[in-house]
Amino acid sequence: MQTTAQHKLKRQSRLDPGGRYWIWYVLPALIMYCLFMAYPMLDSVRLSLYEGTTGARTFVGFSNYVRLFTDPEVSARFWGAFKNTWVFFAYHMMVQNVLGMLFAVILTNRTMVGRQFYQSVIFIPCTIAVMVTGYLFKLVLNPQFAGPTLRSMGLGALVRPWLGQEQTALHVISLVSVWQWVGIPTMMFVAGLQGISEDLLEAADIAGANSWQTFWYIKYPLLLPVVGMIAILTFVSNFNAFDIIYAMATPDGAPNYSTDLIGSLFYRYGVAGKHPIGIPEPGVGASISTAVFFMLLLGVVPTLRATQGKE
């Protein structure tokens, strides 16, 4: 038998450095993650250099990208969706995230009554499926639904085919999405603001700072890492948005592709096949997802560096 001291040493090494034995605990998760996420993601990049599906796949080099960026028909759709996605993203940054920060500042005010109630309500739409939200607003915004009633109330100006007009559809859909998701930045900012030391705010108060100055010179700079995180979150989710377009404007981004986003474009080319032929082009689909992949990296990494650098 070993002495107690030896035993102690053994115990240390059994648990702490532990050695390769721990791999057996990690392996199941790692295999699942590799097989159904990491590998398909990386292999999609490879597939963007091919044409056709399994069995009848031929290497075509960069021709999918050439088509995507320069072919008169395909590139018109791609750049259209690209532009629309930035508009969609702008709404989320300027409206959703600004509102979220405003709400969070209000909700973290200690002397304010009913904070818990407001907070719970703001978050309710986040729990509803995007599909449900989309259909609901599609019905509610249909001039047939409330048109007669609104007209009789003298609010006829509100009765317009909001989703049927090219110049309004994308804006209305963006606002619906903002309505749904404003709770997420609100909660994240609330968490961030609660982490700011009370002493700091008290010092500002004693120094005679008004609430705007306290916000701008103390709270906002300290929230910067959260701001960065939310910007990344918004960017990543907006460049993948699909459900809301599918529900409110069909996967074709109706009317006349004015609401087409990268997500719906990817679905049409890569998975469903374009109207009217209906044959998907996995190669073009993969090149769209690869373009998104690199765009996300280009957007995410600098934002991370700029806002999370201090730690």
Partner 1 sequence: MSTQKKERKATSLKVMNMHIPSHVLMVIWVFVALFPVYLLIINSFKGRMAIYSNPFGLPTEWTLDNYISVIQGGNFFQYFFNSITVVVVSLFVILLLGSLAGYGLAHWRGKLSKGIYFFFILGMMLPIKIATIRLLELMKIFDLFNTLWSLFFVYIAMGLPTAVFILTEFIHGLPRDLYEAAYIDGAPRSKIYYSIVLPLIKPALATVGIYNLVPIWNDLWFPLIFITREDKKTVLLAVTRLQGQYSTDWPRVFALLTLSALPVILLYLSMSKQFVAGLTAGAVKG
Dist CA 182 CA 233 (whole Å): 12
- Which residue, 80 or 143, is less far from partner 1 as judged by CB? 143
CB of 182 to partner 1, least distance (A): 8
| Contact between 35 and partner 1 per CB under 8 A | yes
Stretch that binds partner 1, among 58-66, 83-91, 118-126, 154-162 (CB under 8 A): 118-126
| Contact between 231 and partner 1 per CB under 8 A | no
State which of residues 6, 13, 70, 149 lies at the interface with partner 1 (CB under 8 A). 149
Dist CA 244 CA 260 (whole Å): 11
- Which residue, 117 or 277, is less far from partner 1 as judged by CB? 117
How many residues touch partner 1 under the rule CB under 8 A: the total is 94
State which of residues 6, 9, 13, 40 lies at the interface with partner 1 (CB under 8 A). 40
- Which residue, 19 or 72, is less far from partner 1 as judged by CB? 19
- For residue 194, give both structure tokens: 């609660």
Residues of span 158-217 touching partner 1 by CB under 8 A:
179, 184, 187-188, 191
- For residue 96, give both structure tokens: 């959703």
State which of residues 132, 155, 200, 203 lies at the interface with partner 1 (CB under 8 A). 132
Question: What's the Cα-to-Cα distance from 244 to each of 76, 98, 235, 274, rounded to whole Å?
Answer: 22, 21, 16, 19
| Contact between 41 and partner 1 per CB under 8 A | yes
Binding mask 257-296 for partner 1 (x = CB under 8 A): ------x--x---xx----------x--xx--xx-xx--x
CB of 307 to partner 1, least distance (A): 12
CB of 230 to partner 1, least distance (A): 8
Stretch that binds partner 1, among 58-66, 79-87, 133-141, 160-168 (CB under 8 A): 133-141
- What is the DSSP track for 52-91? S-TTS-EE-TTHHHHHHHH-HHHHHHHHHHHHHHHHHHHH
The residues, ordered by sequence, that sit 6+ positions from 289 with a Cβ below 8 Å of its Cβ are 44, 48, 266, 270
Beta strands in the chain (DSSP E): 50-51, 58-59
From 287, 296, 174, select the one nearest 236 (Cα to Cα).
296
Binding mask 98-117 for partner 1 (x = CB under 8 A): ----xx--x--x-xxxx---
Task: Give me the phi and psi of 107, to 5 degrees please.
Answer: -75, -15
175 burial via Cβ count (<10 Å: 0-12, 13-18, 19+)? middle
> What is the number of residues in the chain?
311
CB of 228 to partner 1, least distance (A): 11
